[in-house]
């Protein structure tokens, strides 16, 4: 219980820093009433860094805690702070859709997140809250910097996984998230949004 209380306090502190207020606090208002959370993006994630035979119980527990447990309980905490008509967007991965032998535990966690997305989309529909997964392929943020830029060959191989023959950039994913978060995305829910640059077109 102590862990949940700490998580709730951290959540409300972050929400307050953005100008919002917990559901029980009606002091922060706008023309629509108490200012609340409009969009929740579950973006944190990590890999275990190992193939099937190299993954330890501790590594598996850690990657599940971050990639599945964190979005599960953060969304749970968000529910009474999330405005009706809001958005929940889970950052998944193209690895959840293919046999991903380099790190099957990572792919498994993202597949679990996709399943949660569909379940929540149905559960939250009465409040007009949409829930979707956006799945990047190889993107060039810090998490991939070490191996992606290790050699020209590594970068060329990563680029070849997209039909556009380039590595994805942060803006490529942010724009997909932006559409789902916008009013124009109001009729899209429970979906796996492929933002891999066409990697799925190559098949498994």
**Catalytic residue ranges:** 106
What six digits make up the tokens of 169?
Answer: 């950039």
With contact defined as beta carbons under 8 Å apart, do 37 and 86 qualify?
yes
State the Cα–Cα distance between residues 84 and 79, nearest whole angstrom: 9
Half-sphere exposure of 157 (CA within 13 A, CB side): 8
b/e sequence 167-195, b meaning 16+ C-beta within 10 Å: bbeeebbeebbeebbeeebeeebbbbbbb
């Amino acid at each position: 219980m102590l862990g949940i209380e700490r998580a709730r306090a951290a959540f409300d502190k972050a929400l307050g820093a953005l100008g919002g207020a917990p559901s029980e606090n009606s002091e922060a208002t706008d023309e629509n009433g108490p200012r609340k959370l409009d969009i929740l993006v579950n973006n944190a994630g990590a890999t275990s860094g190992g193939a099937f035979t190299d993954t330890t119980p501790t590594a598996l527990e850690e990657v599940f805690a971050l990639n599945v447990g964190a979005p599960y309980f953060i969304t749970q905490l968000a529910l009474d702070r999330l405005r009706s008509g809001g958005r929940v967007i889970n950052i998944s991965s193209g690895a959840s859709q293919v046999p991903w032998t380099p790190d099957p535990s990572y792919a498994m966690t993202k597949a679990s997140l996709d399943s949660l997305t569909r379940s929540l989309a149905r559960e939250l529909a009465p409040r007009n809250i949409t829930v979707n997964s956006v799945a990047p392929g190889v993107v060039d943020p810090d998490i991939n910097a070490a191996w992606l830029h290790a050699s020209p060959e590594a970068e060329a191989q990563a680029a070849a996984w997209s039909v556009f023959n380039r590595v994805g950039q942060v803006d490529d994913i942010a724009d997909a998230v932006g559409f789902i978060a916008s009013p124009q995305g109001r009729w899209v829910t429970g979906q796996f949004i492929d933002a891999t640059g066409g990697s799925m077109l190559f098949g498994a």
